Amino acid sequence: MKSRKSEARAAAVLIAPFVVAYLVLFIYPTVKMVELTFTDAPLIGEGAWVGVRNYVRMWSDRQFWNALWNTLYFVLLTVVPNTVIGLLIAMMVSRLKGWLQSVVLAAFFLPYILPVSVVTLIWQWVLDPQFGIAQYPLSFFVGERVPVFRTRAWIMPTVGFVTIWWTCGFNILLFLAGLRNISSEYYDAAALDGAGRWKQFRHITLPLIWPVAALVLTIQLILQLKIFDQLYLLTLGGATNTTMVLVQAIYRQAFVTNKGGYGATIALALFVLIVALSVLQYQFLRARDR
Amino acid sequence: MTRRFDPVGIGLTTFTLLAATLWAFPLYWAVITTLKPEHETIRPGVHFLPEDWTLGGYIHIIQNTNLGTWYVNSIVTAVAVTVLVVVMSAACGFAISQLRFPGRRLLYLMILASFMVPMQALIVTHFILMNDLGLVNTWTGIILPQLIAPISVIVYKQFFDSVPKELREAAIVDGANWFQLLFRVFLPMNWGITTALAIITFIAAWNNFLWPFLVTTSERTMTITVGITQVKDAFGVYYARQLSGAVLAALPVAAAYLIFQRRVTQAIMLTAGIKG
């Protein structure tokens, strides 16, 4: 048998690349971020120690609160709808068989693997105020053409809609796997008892799919709190402050106005928010599960 | 059970097909737009097919932008990220799963905990670090921060955990050392996992927007996902050209998905924590 020592040495070699990358690209930047929040450093260069001034400033910064509310608004618009739509589509797809199922699933899933900039270019075209094809149904329902990415009340819901179109495929896949794990015996037995579609859904599908739904909700919550790319691209570089979200506020402070210290402070706030909310939500969902 | 006439079922299937068509329609519409001359794209009314089929949009964008350079940048960085992430994760996951060494539990717990940390929160310090190392506007600068993939380590660890003990003992009796055990026994047994992780890592790296967007400031160093967003500023509203760029940017990942559909699905299940 090999000695303990040689085993530890082999382990050191094997974990070294990951551990080095982890320390340099993850631990160090995280520690550095916390340190930066106590300085007035620009993005590049040294700054002076300012104590908690960045935190005080953030507390009274209307732009920060605005970004926080916008982020939460976006979460509200996307997390639950994306999960519900994902489950509905998964149930529709799971009824189909063979090649038809593959084709339909691919149609729903394909957007998910596209780069964000491709997704936003497609929707900018489809929703173009002058030439976009979606303006036909839109003007039918609203009564006029809507420049959705330039109309304040429309921006967030539209970006939310595009986000759901883009990312729902992921939820569909997870739900499909969950649905396949439900034994058909349950449904056969229920059908024998004369339970209709709704009763089967309510008493078999829903309780058995709940753990997957909890997982999807948690993943969605964390994902949507980090909203930036599609909003930034669809609002033409976030021209207005009205739709500013947290990641955009970090970007704005650190990269546009060159306030590295303050940008890091908002980044830390996002960091804490995501960790806290995801732990909380997970506990809450687990509790309901029991 | 015997098949009976089921109007609700037929209705549901019809609805599903309609919904799928509508869902995929923007993709069709984007692709078909790239095959129209620019003046046809802005013609009033809905025209599902071009009157004059043309590749003008593609030709224009290839000739008048840095598209080729962006493509090379994307391929190099995405492939590098994929190879490095897979190798690092397999080695680390193997060590945590199969070897005893001090700090093993701590390492695993730290990897698990790092799950929740949003990379978006680290953009400021990542940029500072890359600038200090002189890596802004370089391939290495684009690659490095994307190497943190704790999820792949966890996936490998879980799979190596499920390899039967006897195989490992037999290899050791045959005189294999730990590295041979990993590369000759454990990895070949799990090629499926490696393929799945590699494909999804490649897609994620190719699609990554925020970090390449921040770390590249000149047009020549951009990746394609960042580059195509610059095209519109140069031309104003020319949708056939813009969307041609989008189609070209999406081509590798769309192809990867369509060819390796099952592997992509499997990888998504794995990384979401559902064994599939």
Q: What is the CATH number of the domain that holds A264?
A: 1.10.3720.10
Q: Is B96 on the interface with A (CB under 8 A)?
A: yes
ipTM of the complex: 0.92
Give domain status of residue A38, yes or no. no
Please give the average per-residue pLDDT across B25-35, as a whole number: 96
Cα–Cα distance for residue pair A253/A264, rounded to 1 Å: 9
Q: Does A18 touch chain B (CB under 8 A)?
A: yes
Inform me whether the pLDDT recorded for A284 exceeds 80.
no
Q: At how many degrees (to 10) do helices B261-271 and B191-207 cross?
A: 90
The reply to whether residue A33 touches residue B124, judged by beta carbons under 8 angstroms, is yes
Residue A219 lies in a domain: yes
Per the domain annotation, does B55 fall within a domain?
Answer: no
Cβ atoms B20, A108 nearer than 8 A: yes
pLDDT tens across B100-149, in order? 999 999 999 999 888 777 889 999 999 999 999 999 999 999 999 999 98
Q: Is B166 exposed, middle or buried (0-12, 13-18, 19+ CB in 10 A)?
A: exposed
What pLDDT shows up at residue A271? 92
Distance (Å) from the alpha carbon of A153 to chain B's nearest alpha carbon: 23
User: Does residue B94 form part of some domain?
Assistant: yes
User: What total number of domains does chain A contain?
Assistant: 1
Chain A nearest CA to B134, separation (Å)? 12
- Which residue from A11, A29, A229 is facing B122, i.e. has the nearest CB? A29
Residue B235 has pLDDT above 60, yes or no: no
Query: A152 versus B81: which is more confidently predicted?
Result: B81
CA torsion B192-B193-B195-B200 (nearest 10°) is 140
pLDDT tens sequence across B51-108: 999 999 999 999 988 999 999 999 999 999 999 999 999 999 999 999 999 999 999 9
% of chain B exceeding 70 in pLDDT: 95
Q: What is the pLDDT of residue A234?
A: 92
**Which domain does A277 fall in, by range?**
44-289
Give residue B140's domain range: 68-271
Of A41, A104, A7, the residue nearest A265 (C-alpha): A41
pLDDT at residue A192 is higher than 60: yes
Distance CA A250, CA A287 (A): 34
Q: Determine the distance in angstroms separating the CA of A60 from the nearest CA of chain B, rounded to an integer.
A: 21
For residue B165, being part of any structural domain is answered with yes
Say if B35 is an interface residue toward chain A (CB within 8 Å).
Answer: no
pLDDT at position A288 is: 60
Partners of B263 on chain A (C-beta within 8 Å) are: none
Rounded CA gap, A171 and B193, in Å? 21
Of B124, B145, B153, the CB nearest to A260: B124
Q: How confident is the model at residue A183 (pLDDT cuts 50, 70, 90)?
A: confident
Average pLDDT, chain A: 91
Cβ-Cβ contacts under 8 Å, A267 against chain B: 120-124
Given CB atoms, is A45 within the 8 Å cutoff of chain B? no
Residue B42 structure tokens: 């802005």
Whether the per-residue pLDDT at A16 is higher than 90: the answer is yes
The answer to whether residue B207 sits within a structural domain is yes
Flag whether A31 is in a domain: no
Q: What is the pLDDT of residue B276?
A: 38
Minimal Cβ distance to B100: which of A7, A125, A173: A7
Residue B258: inside a domain: yes
Whether A225 maps to a domain, the answer reads: yes
Whether B275 shows a pLDDT value over 80: the answer reads no
Q: Is residue B84 part of a domain?
A: yes
DSSP string, B133-186: TT-TTSHHHHHGGGG--HHHHHHHHHHHHTS-HHHHHHHHHTT--HHHIIIIII
- Whether residue A162 is predicted with pLDDT greater than 90 in this model: the reply is yes
Which structure tokens are listed for A16? 């070294």
Model pTM? 0.93
- Give domain status of residue B205, yes or no: yes
| Average pLDDT rounded to a whole number, residues B191-218 | 94
Among B74, B125, B152, B181, the strongest candidate for a mutation testing the A interface, having the largest count of A CBs within 10 A, is: B125
CATH code of the domain covering residue B186: 1.10.3720.10
Residue A163 lies in a domain: yes
- The residues, ordered by sequence, that sit 6+ positions from B77 with a Cβ below 8 Å of its Cβ are B139, B142, B143, B146, B205, B212, B223
Q: CB of A127 within 8 A of CB of A158?
A: yes
Amino acid at A134: A
More confident residue, A290 or A283: A283
Interchain CB contacts (distance < 8 Å): A and B: 266
A1 assigned to some structural domain: no
Q: Would B206 be classed as within a structural domain?
A: yes
Contact B196, B267 (CB under 8 A): yes
Please check the confidence at residue B257 and state whether its pLDDT lies above 70: yes
**Which tens digit of pLDDT belongs to each residue from A108-125?**
999 999 999 999 999 999
Q: How far is A156 from chain B (nearest CA, A)?
A: 19
| Spatial distance between the Cα atoms of A9 and B101, rounded to a whole number of angstroms | 8
The minimum CA-CA distance between B235 and chain A, rounded to whole Å, is: 14
B183, burial (CB in 10 Å: exposed 0-12, middle 13-18, buried 19+) = middle
Check CB contact of A150 with chain B, cutoff 8 Å.
no
Number of domains in chain B: 1
Q: List Cα–Cα distances, A196 to A199, B1, B122, B151, in angstroms.
A: 5, 16, 51, 41
Q: Which two tokens stand for residue B29?
A: 């519409």
Give whole-number Cα distances, B239 to A145, B10, B88, in Å: 19, 39, 42
